[in-house]
A and B are shown apart, each in its own frame.
Chain A
Amino acid sequence: MQQKLEQIKAAALAELASAEDSKAVEELRVRYLGKKGEITAILKQMGSLSPEERPKMGQLANEVRADIENAISTAMAEMGKKAQELRLKKETLDISIPGTVKEVGSLHPLNSTLDKLIDIFKSMGFDVVDGPEVETDYYNFEALNVPADHPARDMQDTFYLSENMLLRTQTSAAQIRTMEKRKPPIRIICPGRVYRSDDVDATHSPVFHQVEGLVVDKGITMCDLKGTLETMAKEIYGSDTKVKFRPSFFPFTEPSVEVDVSCSECGGKGCRVCKGSGWIEILGAGMVHPKVLLSCGIDPEEYSGFAFGIGLDRLTTTRHKISDIRLLFENDLRFLKQF
């Protein structure tokens, strides 16, 4: 019987070695280890053994069974591994095919630029406020030191809706509304749409956008104005951007300046974008005029402030090198998808 068991073991292991797939192994397992298998058959003959031999043979039979079982499970694991390797190989994909993408849209370039500005100014403690686009003559002009029949009204061609209502020509109107409501310290920006009666061409649009800024507090200086604008310009155009003040005139600031930034295209050497000057004019600014402070009930002896008005459209077109402002309002999807 011992011999028989060893023969079975040898045969099983030999067959196992030549088994080609898991199906063959399973058959083999049933044949040797199953209820009607060979080892079971042997064990059924145990009754014919002497009581002394029985435990010995039983132990041997169990050892043989365990050996075969181990061999089978090792073989099965091996085969599973091989089969998996095969399957994974079959499943190999062409990774050069572009990925599946769910299309994400985008903000209009004017608003993505505005968002950037809002981030910059919020981080400097500016509140973002909004004002009406239909303004009264008072807020748009009079309170900003531009009385009726003042020559400064010629600086802006105004769309009128009634005798004293108009489409705001500047977000500066928000300065007055803010100063009437709040007391210093004031730090606000007011982004918004403004209107001037300019015919449409590559650089003009009767509808455009400004971001007004206003700071009023004790001890605010013109150097603070420059520092603030430098921070903004470096964020928008790059860290080596320079800012230059040129004297100018606005009725609601004194002193008033035009603000140029070094051309980001040529770095100030002069090119087509900056028309050879090395500088791009992006905004007007100045120290808040004492008359404007007074008309809002703020004592110019105690407080000072600065204001600026950024041309958002120009900032956007120069930043993205958009050659024609009309593209901003045309809304061709092929244009919008670039941003």
Chain B
Amino acid sequence: MKVSLEQLKTYVEINVPVNELCDRMVMAGFEVEEIINTAETMENVVVGKILEITPHENSDHLVICQLDIGENEPVQIVTGADNVFVGAYVPAALHNSKLPNGMNIKSGKLRGVVSNGMLCSGEELKLTEDDYEGASVYGILILKGEPKPGTDMRDILGLNDWIIDFKITANRPDCQSVLGIAREIGVVLGTEFKPPVPTYKTVGDDINNYMQLEVKNYDICPRYVGRFVKNIKIAPSPDWMKRALKASGMRPINNIVDITNFVMLETGQPLHAFDYRDIKGGKIIVRNAAEGEKITTLDEKVHTLNSDMLVIADAENPSCLAGIMGGLNSEIKDDTKDLFLESAKFRRDSVRRTARALGVRTESSARYERGTDIMNTEYASNRALQLIYELGAGEIVDGVLDANNGLPAERELAVSVNKINALLGLTIDGKVMVDILNSLHIPTVLSGDTLTCRIPSFRDDIEYMADIAEEVMRIYGYDHIVGTPISGAVLRGTVTPERALDDKVKKLLTSNGMYEITTYSFIGSHAIDPLNIPADDARQASIKILNPLGDEYSVMRTQLVSSMLTVVGLNMNRKNSSARLFEISKRFMPKALPMTEQPSELKTLSMGLYGDGEDFYTLKGLVEQVIELCGAKVTYERSDEPYLHPGRAAKAVMGDKTVAVFGEVHPNTAEKYDLSNKTYVAEVYLDMLASSETPLVIYSPLPKFPAVSRDLALLCESTVPVGDLLDIITKAGGKLLENVSIFDIYEGAQIPEGKKSVAFNLTLRSAEATLTDEQIETVMNKVIKKLSDFGAELRR
């Protein structure tokens, strides 16, 4: 809400500088978004009276003016405009002046002749016809009347003001008005608040001779106040009113429209003026629209309505979208003779729904949506009549049409001083609270521990003790709140097992040189395409955002790989030669589409590796470590994940569940992400692993007897999985086999085509005694035999 300081000063005494005013308002709950000094835009521009005009000897389009600027000597200024004349009053930007368009003017020579400044056009002063009559004329701005030469142009233009933009919180609709803010300033500064008291003279006659009013829906329109003004004289508004409108961001139109807007800004109560000629049958009916009924609004847009929407209709058609915008047919025109003035209360949720549904938002609807004061309708109406009267804009007819279904009674709220203090943790005296509440125009009396507050109609937001506590506190001052530790039982903070697991996994991964990334949970509708996931895969059924910021952020991701590969691509592109990245985030899997219940949010780990030394096995090692950390028992199988290299893709399977998928990125997918290096990517489904408890370690005694080490070099078909050989050795080795590891896998020279050599190291040990040669021989022979049965022969 932008308000002019000058206007505020007409309602309340402001005895502090503008910055202090703003600081104190902030501490009372009114954040200041911006302070604009209108005077700052223009400096050292004064009224000059042209005394003499002489031709310029070196130019046929320049002339030399001598101007009276209120000093002893005239100043000489050269101009190229041809509308100047002797005796004209013009704005003169003197040496070292500043113009609103950012220009700085200095003395200089124009084609050899000294010019001590510049004469200004309306455009150079950033003025329009609304600001100053004649401002749009091509040439120098010729001022009206005979202003005193030397007068600061800011005084002529009313630019010695401050405009303060207050952010009004949703609970204070009463402060969506200049008067509301002035009332708060009075409380904060402790000065008197003087709202205008509307007085005017009527010309007799009777509104009932012209108009009938019927409200069909008191639920949505609890009060409708109508007045009648005849013999309207449409004219421009006075400058002070135009300035106030512009300060608040509205455009002046004519006296009647401006008065309705001015009073809305001033009181917070929207008003609407109808051209009487266009009210068919002289009747206003407040009713719900018929389904499919149409209205053309002031902005010449046609809206099709439904039966939830409230309209102000005449005997035949809707004339106005209640509380939102007037109809084109009944607007005030240059030749309007008589008008009907509406001041009504509409329910905020109804206005909000209609405004949203039709995509219309106005100053009026904004105020209704936040809530207006039912008792303010009459005041605002009278205030508008006062201005019509004072400006001589029309003749006010006697009588009021006031349709309401009974006005709400004043509310009383009784609260305990002790309870307020208990909530705040302070010991504020009850009498201090009474003074604060009374200053806030909440008449309050104290009896014992009880404050009895009469809640004014404009403070619908006050319902509970906590609301009174806040009112007291924001005026008493939050500086009085002093930090204390929470009292009560000593509690021990815990984290969920899921979060504890995340933390363990993150520790493991970072200690393996991995960096955590953070990416958005929504992705583009086609972001999944490069992964070549089949159309019938569950991951293609993603939840769409109904109102996304753009296609780029439009669906909830069902996998983390696309985000990971995007980040990998970015890092390759930025010439980061290698990277180990991970993210723990959620995949959003709907239970049905369209959604009938909240989706599954599945905690998932993604990893991405590239650069020297990275290969399938470095990734597999990380996957194995994570799974082991979770205490899960898995087997590894080939995976047909479409975005992975078919020969270098694996999955970890636990029971019938896949708990991880990983491998080298398929060249087709890599190309789409512009991945210049081989990239290895994994998804580990932590939501499935979280349930497997990490087993407690049970100590086993350290060996007392020496171990024996034996190497085995085998020759087998190159397609044989080494994992199978390991399994055979482990099984055949039995109890005495302590460990088996691979130390070489080789294909090539000296090895027959289609074969490979695999070398293992076996460690044998007994817990009971030193192994004898015989025992060792037995074990080794058994292992070799089993391997041979499998087709893996000892290399000799």
Q: Which residues of A are at the interface with B, using a C-beta cutoff of 8 A? A: 102-108, 110-111, 115, 118, 121-130, 132-136, 148-152, 154-155, 159-162, 165, 167, 185, 187, 193, 195, 197, 199-200, 206-207, 215, 217-224, 226-231, 243-249, 251, 254-258, 287, 289-291, 300, 304, 328-334, 336-337
Q: B598 near A: Cβ within 8 Å?
A: yes
CA distance A228 to B483 in the complex (A): 7
Contact A151 B348 (CB under 8 A): yes
Q: For A134, what are the chain B residues with a Cβ–Cβ distance below 8 Å?
A: 543, 556, 588, 598-599, 601
Contact A105 B498 (CB under 8 A): no
Q: For B547, what are the chain A residues with a Cβ–Cβ distance below 8 Å?
A: 159-160, 197
Contact A248 B169 (CB under 8 A): yes
CA distance A155 to B521 in the complex (A): 22
Q: For B519, what are the chain A residues with a Cβ–Cβ distance below 8 Å?
A: 329, 331
Residues B47-95 near A (CB distance < 8 A)? none
* Extra inter-chain contacts (19) besides given A102-B513, A122-B495, A255-B473, CB under 8 Å: A104-B513, A105-B512, A126-B491, A130-B496, A133-B601, A154-B369, A159-B547, A161-B543, A167-B545, A187-B493, A221-B424, A221-B484, A224-B425, A228-B485, A251-B170, A289-B466, A328-B518, A329-B520, A331-B581
Which of chain B's residues has its CB closest to A112's CB?
Answer: B516
A285 to chain B, nearest CB (A): 11
CA distance A289 to B598 in the complex (A): 27
Contact A333 B466 (CB under 8 A): no
Q: For A187, what are the chain B residues with a Cβ–Cβ distance below 8 Å?
A: 486, 491, 493
Contact B549 A199 (CB under 8 A): yes
Q: For A220, what are the chain B residues with a Cβ–Cβ distance below 8 Å?
A: 486, 488
Residues B449-502 near A (CB distance < 8 A)? 464-467, 469-470, 473-474, 478-479, 481-496, 498-499
Which of chain B's residues has its CB closest to A288's CB?
Answer: B466
Contact A133 B521 (CB under 8 A): yes
Known: A134-B599, A219-B488, A328-B518. A162 touches B470 (CB 8 A): no
CA distance A223 to B424 in the complex (A): 6
Q: For B28, what are the chain A residues with a Cβ–Cβ distance below 8 Å?
A: 247
Contact A185 B488 (CB under 8 A): yes
Known: A151-B170, A160-B545, A227-B484. A248 touches B29 (CB 8 A): yes
Please indicate which of the listed interface residues B169, B503, B581, B588 has the most CB atoms of chain A within 10 Å of its own CB.
Answer: B169
Contact A104 B510 (CB under 8 A): yes
B389 to chain A, nearest CB (A): 34
Contact A149 B470 (CB under 8 A): no
Contact A132 B598 (CB under 8 A): yes
CA distance A331 to B576 in the complex (A): 12
Contact A162 B546 (CB under 8 A): yes
Contact B369 A151 (CB under 8 A): yes
Which of chain B's residues has its CB closest to A197's CB?
Answer: B549
Q: B26 near A: Cβ within 8 Å?
A: yes
Q: B548 near A: Cβ within 8 Å?
A: yes
Which of chain A's residues has its CB closest to B596's CB?
Answer: A162
Q: B796 near A: Cβ within 8 Å?
A: no
Known: A130-B496, A255-B470. A336 touches B601 (CB 8 A): no
CA distance A248 to B27 in the complex (A): 9
A74 to chain B, nearest CB (A): 38
Q: Which residues of B are at the interface with A, using a C-beta cutoff of 8 A? A: 26-29, 31, 169-173, 348-350, 352-353, 369-371, 422-426, 464-467, 469-470, 473-474, 478-479, 481-496, 498-499, 503, 506, 509-522, 543-549, 553, 556, 567, 570-571, 574, 576, 579-581, 586, 588, 594-595, 598-599, 601
Contact B499 A105 (CB under 8 A): no
A112 to chain B, nearest CB (A): 9
A271 to chain B, nearest CB (A): 18
Contact B495 A304 (CB under 8 A): no
Known: A221-B423, A304-B423. A162 touches B492 (CB 8 A): no
A36 to chain B, nearest CB (A): 41
A319 to chain B, nearest CB (A): 16
Q: For A150, what are the chain B residues with a Cβ–Cβ distance below 8 Å?
A: 170, 349
Contact A124 B493 (CB under 8 A): yes
CA distance A184 to B71 in the complex (A): 79
Contact B485 A224 (CB under 8 A): yes
Contact A226 B483 (CB under 8 A): yes
Known: A255-B473, A333-B571. A217 touches B488 (CB 8 A): yes
Contact A159 B466 (CB under 8 A): no
Contact B515 A159 (CB under 8 A): no
Q: For B484, what are the chain A residues with a Cβ–Cβ distance below 8 Å?
A: 221, 223-224, 226-227
CA distance A163 to B430 in the complex (A): 48
Contact A151 B545 (CB under 8 A): no
Q: For B479, what are the chain A residues with a Cβ–Cβ distance below 8 Å?
A: 244
Some 16 contacts from A to B, beta carbons below 8 A apart, are: A111-B516, A127-B494, A128-B495, A129-B496, A151-B170, A159-B545, A165-B598, A167-B545, A187-B493, A222-B426, A249-B169, A258-B31, A290-B465, A304-B422, A333-B579, A334-B576
Contact A245 B478 (CB under 8 A): yes
Q: For A330, what are the chain B residues with a Cβ–Cβ distance below 8 Å?
A: 570
Contact B517 A336 (CB under 8 A): yes
Q: For B581, what are the chain A residues with a Cβ–Cβ distance below 8 Å?
A: 331, 333
Which of chain B's residues has its CB closest to A192's CB?
Answer: B586
Q: For A154, what are the chain B residues with a Cβ–Cβ distance below 8 Å?
A: 170, 369
Known: A133-B601, A134-B543, A206-B549. A331 touches B567 (CB 8 A): yes
Contact B490 A332 (CB under 8 A): no
Known: A159-B547, A255-B466. A207 touches B522 (CB 8 A): yes
CA distance A249 to B516 in the complex (A): 36
CA distance A19 to B170 in the complex (A): 102
Q: For A167, what are the chain B residues with a Cβ–Cβ distance below 8 Å?
A: 545
Which of chain B's residues has its CB closest to A148's CB?
Answer: B349
Contact B493 A223 (CB under 8 A): no
Please indicate which of the listed interface residues A103, A304, A334 has the most CB atoms of chain B within 10 Å of its own CB.
Answer: A103
B151 to chain A, nearest CB (A): 35
Q: For B474, what are the chain A residues with a Cβ–Cβ distance below 8 Å?
A: 247, 255
Which of chain B's residues has its CB closest to A131's CB?
Answer: B601
Q: For A160, what are the chain B residues with a Cβ–Cβ distance below 8 Å?
A: 545-547
Q: For B485, what are the chain A residues with a Cβ–Cβ distance below 8 Å?
A: 224, 227-228, 231
B735 to chain A, nearest CB (A): 36
Q: For B371, what are the chain A residues with a Cβ–Cβ distance below 8 Å?
A: 151
Q: For B521, what are the chain A residues with a Cβ–Cβ distance below 8 Å?
A: 133, 193, 195, 207
Which of chain B's residues has its CB closest to A328's CB?
Answer: B518
Q: For B173, what are the chain A residues with a Cβ–Cβ distance below 8 Å?
A: 151
A313 to chain B, nearest CB (A): 10
Contact A155 B170 (CB under 8 A): yes
Contact B478 A247 (CB under 8 A): yes
Contact B478 A106 (CB under 8 A): no
Contact B548 A162 (CB under 8 A): no
Query: Which 4 pairs between the two chains have the least Cβ-Cβ distance?
Result: A221-B425, A223-B425, A122-B493, A125-B491
Q: For A207, what are the chain B residues with a Cβ–Cβ distance below 8 Å?
A: 520-522
Known: A133-B601, A162-B594, A230-B483. A107 touches B510 (CB 8 A): yes
Which of chain A's residues has its CB closest to B554's CB?
Answer: A159
Partner of A228 from the list B422, B486, B595 (CB cut-off 8 Å) is B486
CA distance A142 to B635 in the complex (A): 48
A168 to chain B, nearest CB (A): 11
Q: For B580, what are the chain A residues with a Cβ–Cβ distance below 8 Å?
A: 105
CA distance A289 to B469 in the complex (A): 12
Q: For B553, what are the chain A residues with a Cβ–Cβ distance below 8 Å?
A: 206
CA distance A105 to B235 in the complex (A): 74
Contact A185 B506 (CB under 8 A): no
CA distance A180 to B511 in the complex (A): 39
Known: A152-B170, A161-B544, A185-B489. A246 touches B576 (CB 8 A): no
Contact A247 B571 (CB under 8 A): no
Which of chain A's residues has its CB closest to B173's CB?
Answer: A151
Which of chain B's residues has its CB closest to A198's CB?
Answer: B549
Which of chain B's residues has its CB closest to A289's CB?
Answer: B466
Contact A128 B520 (CB under 8 A): no
Q: For A300, what are the chain B residues with a Cβ–Cβ distance below 8 Å?
A: 464
Partner of A329 from the list B29, B518, B598 (CB cut-off 8 Å) is B518
Contact A126 B493 (CB under 8 A): yes
Q: For A104, what are the chain B residues with a Cβ–Cβ distance below 8 Å?
A: 510-511, 513
Known: A206-B553, A245-B478, A249-B169. A133 touches B493 (CB 8 A): no
